[in-house]
Amino acid sequence: MKNSLKSTAVKVLNWHINMYNTGLKGRLKLIGLWTLPFLMSGLIAVEPERRVEVSSGQAVIHKRVQSWAALDYVAMKVLNDVYEVARSNPEVKQVRVSLTMSKAGLSDEYGNPAQEDIHMGDLTWDAEDLQEARRYQDRSLYSVHETRNALYRHHIQGMRGGHLLKD
């Protein structure tokens, strides 16, 4: 067992050395190879952007947004989430989206880092709105509808901290 592990380690080390010695292409491949695990571990550590709770015909979507996100993107993602919940839960008669802006990258007027996330507010869809969402065959058709998207961009921009989102 020890010899097998040792010989495998030597092979892996030799492969890395040979790859490094092949020049720029080999070095770039090594960088890519070793960057991927770090990126994956970073993604795993990130808090989920949304959490959905469904009970008694109502759904609540808790959604985190970043201050550097585009307003149009946030509105589209909110509408995508509402569409997904409406389609996957036909018994739901009301959906409330609770938006929170992450404190990451935020500072107060004095330049001090924000101490806590900002609860921006809530948006609510009633049974009639959800029926309309369920009529669409694809979420992108629902979320990029020009009038609907403009309406929710306006609502989100007017929320607490909404002015920080990129217009």
pLDDT tens digits, one per residue of 9-33 = 888 888 888 888 988 888 888 888 8
For the chain, give the longest Cα–Cα distance.
69
In percent, the amount of the chain with pLDDT more than 90 equals 56
pTM value surpassing 0.85: no
pLDDT per position as a tens digit, 36-49: 776 666 555 455 68
SS3 percent helix, strand, coil of the chain, rounded to 5, is: 55, 20, 25
> pLDDT digit string (tens) for 115-163?
999 999 999 999 999 999 999 999 989 988 899 999 999 999 999 999 9
Instruction: Judge contact between 78 and 70, C-beta under 8 A.
Output: no
Percent of the chain with pLDDT strictly greater than 70: 92
Contacts made by residues 62-65, CB under 8 angstroms, sequence distance 24+: 62/98, 62/100, 63/97, 63/98, 63/99, 63/100, 64/100, 64/101, 64/102, 64/117, 65/99, 65/100, 65/101, 65/102, 65/120, 65/165
The angle formed by the CA atoms of residues 59, 64 and 68, to the nearest 5 degrees, is 145
Contact indicator for 165, 70 with CB cutoff of 8 Å: yes
